[in-house]
């Protein structure tokens, strides 16, 4: 449907509901009794229909002064509400305050609340005070030309992105400024030399693209990192032998913030590199099975876990043993 020009001088509040708000819902992708449900306010019966702060006090808590005409519910949990107003009256701060008192009610818990008098639509955040909660305002005359902006806020998919439930982390922090687990958003592992000398290995730089640090069932720290090499041949080799994803474990339960007493992570694995595998101009002359031991020593500085590492690769062929130290940084959130 298209939002055609309207004569609001002849419209009442009921006309706003039927001719403006309902078509808006349908164009956004909401439908009665669907996963993107439209509910009228009267179908949400509040057990406690008064405003309260903390403990409920039926004798003194003021009654709710505002009610939303519609409740939009996505996947049975994400809600936003909209209240219709007559076109003859501009939307006021008092109207916003009344709608806010309803939207923030514990039994409603709307992510957003909206007011529409036909002439304009105003959208507010419920997690802000009403006087500072306005995030978007648009006149009906701009509905058609700027509908993508409305969609970006109120469509079901947009609400799924912004209206997810907040989970409270009640676990023991793994370090100062972090929760009980930390996501690794990026970083690097840089090799600075090799023994015996190898120009390829001493120039390797692995980008860390993701990962996590958490505690295992024994309350010890474990880390998983996903890496990517700037050298295509090295990346393909990493994927084939499984070093693009590395798991580490520590005897500690908390990440150190002291550079003099770093947290130590270790990893041990077996890698098989087939004869003929190549990294740049170097080709492995024969199939080699390596026992790989990695030791990572680091500390947390702000939201960066940094330090040094040592990789020792042993094989039955003594001449092919490798020792490669380096430095690293991991950005955690």
**Stronger pLDDT, 233 or 199, i.e. the higher one:** 233
pLDDT of amino acid 53: 47
What single-letter DSSP state applies at residue 278? Answer: E
What single-letter DSSP state applies at residue 164? Answer: P
Give the burial class of 35: count Cβ atoms within 10 A of its Cβ; 0-12 exposed, 13-18 middle, 19 or more buried: exposed
Cα–Cα distance for residue pair 27/155, rounded to 1 Å: 9
> What percentage of the chain has pLDDT greater than the value 90?
52
Average pLDDT over every residue of 231-252: 84
β-strands 78-84, 112-116: how paired? parallel
DSSP 165-206: PPPP--SPPSSTT--SSEEEEEEEEEE---BS--TTGGG-EE
Whether the predicted pLDDT of 154 surpasses 60:
yes
pLDDT band at 146 (very low <50, low <70, confident <90, very high): very high
Compute CA 213 distance to the chain's CA centroid, rounded to the nearest angstrom: 16
**Stronger pLDDT, 193 or 316, i.e. the higher one:** 193
**Stronger pLDDT, 188 or 320, i.e. the higher one:** 188
The structure's pTM equals 0.56
**Stronger pLDDT, 273 or 220, i.e. the higher one:** 220
The domains located in the chain, with CATH, are 8-162 (3.90.1570.30), 182-332 (2.40.160)
What digits encode the pLDDT tens for the residues 78-106? 789 999 999 999 999 888 888 887 788 77
């Amino acid at each position: 449907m298209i939002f055609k020009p309207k004569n609001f001088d002849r419209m009442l509040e009921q006309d706003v509901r039927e001719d403006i708000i309902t078509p808006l819902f349908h164009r956004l992708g909401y439908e009665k009794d669907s996963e993107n449900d439209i509910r009228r306010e009267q179908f949400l019966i509040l057990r406690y229909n008064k405003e309260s702060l903390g403990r409920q006090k039926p004798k003194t808590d003021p009654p709710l002064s505002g009610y939303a005409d519609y409740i939009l519910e996505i996947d049975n949990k994400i809600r936003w509400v909209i209240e219709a107003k007559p076109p003859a009256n501009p939307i006021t701060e008092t109207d916003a305050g009344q709608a806010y008192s309803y939207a923030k009610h514990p039994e409603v818990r709307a992510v957003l609340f909206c007011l529409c008098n036909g002439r304009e639509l105003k959208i507010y955040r419920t997690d802000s005070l009403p006087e500072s909660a306005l995030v978007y305002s648009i006149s009906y005359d701009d509905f058609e030309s700027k509908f993508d902006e409305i969609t970006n806020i109120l469509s079901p998919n947009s609400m799924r992105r912004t209206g997810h439930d907040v989970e409270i982390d009640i676990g023991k922090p793994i370090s100062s400024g972090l929760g009980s687990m930390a996501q690794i958003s990026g970083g690097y592992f840089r090799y600075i030399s090799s023994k015996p000398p190898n120009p390829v290995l001493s120039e390797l730089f692995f980008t860390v693209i993701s990962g996590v640090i958490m505690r295992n069932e024994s309350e010890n720290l474990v880390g998983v990192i996903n890496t990517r090499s700037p050298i295509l041949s090295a990346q393909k080799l990493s994927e084939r032998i499984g070093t693009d994803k590395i798991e580490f474990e520590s005897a500690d339960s908390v990440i150190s913030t002291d550079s003099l007493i770093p947290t130590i992570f270790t990893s041990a694995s077996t890698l098989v590199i087939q004869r003929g595998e190549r990294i740049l101009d170097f080709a492995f002359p024969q199939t080699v099975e390596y026992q790989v031991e990695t030791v990572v020593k680091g500390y947390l500085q702000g939201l960066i876990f940094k330090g040094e590492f040592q990789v020792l690769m042993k094989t039955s062929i003594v001449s092919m043993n490798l020792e490669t130290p380096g430095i690293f940084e991991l950005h955690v959130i």
